[in-house]
Structure 1
Amino acid sequence: MDVDQTDSALIAELRKDGRATFEALAGRVGLSRTAARARIQRLLDLGAIRIVGMVHPSVYGLHALGHVSLEISGPAMPIAEKIAAMEDAPFVSVVSGRFGVIAELRSPSMDTFASALDSLRALDGVRNVETGIYTAIVKDTHFPPGRLRPVELDAVDRHLLAALQLDGRAAFSDLAEKVRLSPGAVRARVLRLIDHGVVHVIGLVDTTVLGFTQACGFAVWVARPVDETVASIAQLAQVEYLASAVGRADIIGTLVGATRADVVSALDRLRQIPGVRKLETWSHLTLVKEKYDRSPLEPFPLH
């Protein structure tokens, strides 16, 4: 798939804000509005990018999130595929290093999270499971940025969220028809949902489209306040995912690069960050599952 520098720049902007106007996008990459719109439509038609609303896990009732690392004996793929079949596991990867499989769990409560861990331990070939419970997700294109602010969701809100999950760039006028409100009222509601961290409209893209073919996971143990160190790590451009945690490690993340040299360089910079006491890494060999955009919400009936 041919993606030039201008396409990559548009994709980068849409990954930050999937609802940015064509005028704004055109200005940021040096195109006319018409040219920007045509390029974005081409990227959508080719499947290079999908623009969707990523809803905060708590809206689904998911409050316990964490990272699991599995030491295994025997083939890794059959174990990874069994984990991928679990609804609570949105991310599963076969990796190199001490662990054979890495996964993420998102469960309604710590009790259900613990039950999911028991299911993992019971799988044939799993020798040990190490867990890191997330205390904050700091950097993730699949997760609304910032902290979720308290907000009551009514039937209209849920209809809007369901529509945005399917089409993050749906026009306010089209959304208004679905919920029988004025476009102005719908605009106010959508902006409120975004502002409160309930939904984040982004462009989802396969990083290989951008030339990022190397993915490396890492765990960090720190010798100073975690918030200080994690903030510094988040500044590294190659860091795609970053979370603070308790349990297996203090910080868990993923960085990507176009070449192995890019990854090595990023890891060298990470090691030099003040507070980094210990670093463990693994290479992602086969991505078995990455599905954070869950099925659209079932809206309450509109009255």
Structure 2
Amino acid sequence: MADGSVRDTYTLDEVDRGLIHALHLDGRAPFSRIAAVLGVSTQTVARRYRRLRIEAGLRVVGLPDPHRAGQAQWLVRIAATPADAQALARSLARRPDTSWVKLASGGAEIVTVVHAPRGADASRSMLLRDIPRTAGITAVSAHLLLHTYLGGPTAWRGHLGALSDEQQRRLVPPTAPPPEADPSPASPPTSPLAQADRALTEADRALLDALRQDGRTSHADLAAATGWSPATVARRLTGLREYGTLFFDVEFDDALLGVTTQALLWMAVAPARLDEIATALARHAELAVVAATTGPTNLVAHALCSDPAALHHYLTRHLGSLDAIRTLETAPVLHTLKATGTPRGPRRPRTGAGTPTE
């Protein structure tokens, strides 16, 4: 939950919501195409986009699909002394191999995702050496993410719902893989172009670094960052997107959608029913992330609710009815220091508003 939220000074209308939904469907869609679908002018869409960026932290970020990019993801829980937790969280947010840095459980716990090449040796440096040696840490647990049921390329439903089925069909890029596609490396690519360009290479590093900053960076600026020609950049983007190796996410201050209460839910589920329960939870409107992990709890979820009462209702009426969930730990999220892209400085406050932060 962002500190100093702008929700009291900024109200989303249908155009804003349609723009956010459109960017989830195609983060690089031209404003002219979005405008045609929304029935407004290109200038209106561009103006709303700039306003949302400044006042609501809206940002499109380009990210590699971990499975196709050969990456492992570790969900790391770090218990720290309250005096050291915020400084440690800020330090973790600055690392290029982390995302999703959150302060939880009264500010004495940090939760982060660590990205590493697949293989135990590749993940040892941070998980087993750097973190335990840091002052102020009292406990560390690392959970390998085994399967994501909701999250990543699949957006939280709270960001969707503004566009009709026909509007969505007009916005989905032709290079997008079908949602039901098997993400295993053995699944056939959609075209010879995707077959040739499906894997990330060292030469893609500069491209991805630029897209993590801003997924809508122009071909010309991406060419300057990579040393490629704009035509090569365009071909590479097309190939990576067509196979699903690259996807685009949208960062946004969810308080503007009425979210005031967030929590991480750590669940232990009977293994024989893990897939059934996780699939069911992925359909719950309150959840933005559902993933299977290793560890004493084998399922984690991220809940977004309007207030504590709504969270209580969800826990007791929805999760409470699922007998396969043997244990449940609820950890309130107090602050997100880093989402999926690179961290940014504080947003410019509006006149009369507080000082919103990422």
Q: TM-score range by the shorter chain?
A: 0.7 to 0.9
Task: Report the equivalent of 2:328.
Answer: 279
* Cα distance between partner residues in 1 of 2:138 and 2:202: 46
Output one character per residue of 1:250-277: Cα deviation in whole Å (capped at 9) or x when no partner.
1112111232223223333233246323
Q: Which is richer in strand?
A: 1
* Cα distance between partner residues in 2 of 1:230 and 1:257: 19
The CA deviation at 1:194 is 1.5
The CA deviation at 1:241 is 1.9
Specify the code of the residue in structure 1 equivalent to 2:121. D
The CA deviation at 1:281 is 0.8
* Cα distance between partner residues in 2 of 1:172 and 1:81: 32
- Equivalent pairs counted in the alignment come to 291
Give percent identity, aligned residues only: 25
Task: Report the equivalent of 2:216.
Answer: 169
Task: Report the equivalent of 1:300.
Answer: none
* Cα distance between partner residues in 1 of 2:329 and 2:154: 24
Task: Report the equivalent of 1:135.
Answer: 146
Specify the code of the residue in structure 2 equivalent to 1:116. M
The question of 1:246 aligning with 2:298 is answered no
Output one character per residue of 1:179-234: Cα deviation in whole Å (capped at 9) or x when no partner.
4465xx86664333113222112332122343322211011111233222111111
Task: Report the equivalent of 2:134.
Answer: 123
| Range 232-241 or range 205-214, more displaced | 205-214
Output one character per residue of 1:72-108: Cα deviation in whole Å (capped at 9) or x when no partner.
4553334434544554433333222796332322223
The CA deviation at 1:282 is 0.6
Output one character per residue of 1:105-153: Cα deviation in whole Å (capped at 9) or x when no partner.
2223422434423332333343332222101233224789873747245
Task: Report the equivalent of 1:266.
Answer: 314
* Cα distance between partner residues in 1 of 2:326 and 2:235: 46
Structure 1 length-normalised TM = 0.75
* Cα distance between partner residues in 1 of 2:264 and 2:94: 22
Task: Report the equivalent of 1:235.
Answer: 283
Query: C-alpha root-mean-square deviation of aligned residues, in Å?
Result: 3.8
| Range 255-264 or range 75-84, more displaced | 75-84
> Per the alignment, in what secondary structure is the counterpart of residue 262 of structure 1?
helix
Task: Report the equivalent of 1:214.
Answer: 261
> What is the aligned counterpart of 1:3 among 3, 6, 11?
11
> Per the alignment, in what secondary structure is the counterpart of residue 201 of structure 1?
strand
Cα gap change, 1:86 to 1:162, in 2 (>3 Å): closer
* Cα distance between partner residues in 2 of 1:155 and 1:83: 24
User: Contact (CA 8 Å) 1:132, 1:248: kept in 2 or not?
Assistant: no
Specify the code of the residue in structure 2 equivalent to 1:225. R
| Range 66-75 or range 185-194, more displaced | 185-194
* Cα distance between partner residues in 2 of 1:256 and 1:241: 10
Give 5+ residue unaligned stretches, structure 2. Answer: 1-8, 156-178, 186-194, 344-358
* Cα distance between partner residues in 2 of 1:126 and 1:27: 53
Q: Relative contact order, CA 8 A, sep 6+: which one is greater?
A: 2
Output one character per residue of 1:42-85: Cα deviation in whole Å (capped at 9) or x when no partner.
32455641223223357887x23111223445533344345445
Cα gap change, 1:257 to 1:51, in 2 (>3 Å): same
The CA deviation at 1:161 is 4.7
Cα gap change, 1:65 to 1:44, in 2 (>3 Å): same
> Per the alignment, in what secondary structure is the counterpart of residue 290 of structure 2?
strand
Alignment of 1:172-187 (within 5 A): 179-180=228-229
Task: Report the equivalent of 2:237.
Answer: 190
Specify the code of the residue in structure 2 equivalent to 1:283. P
* Cα distance between partner residues in 2 of 1:89 and 1:175: 23
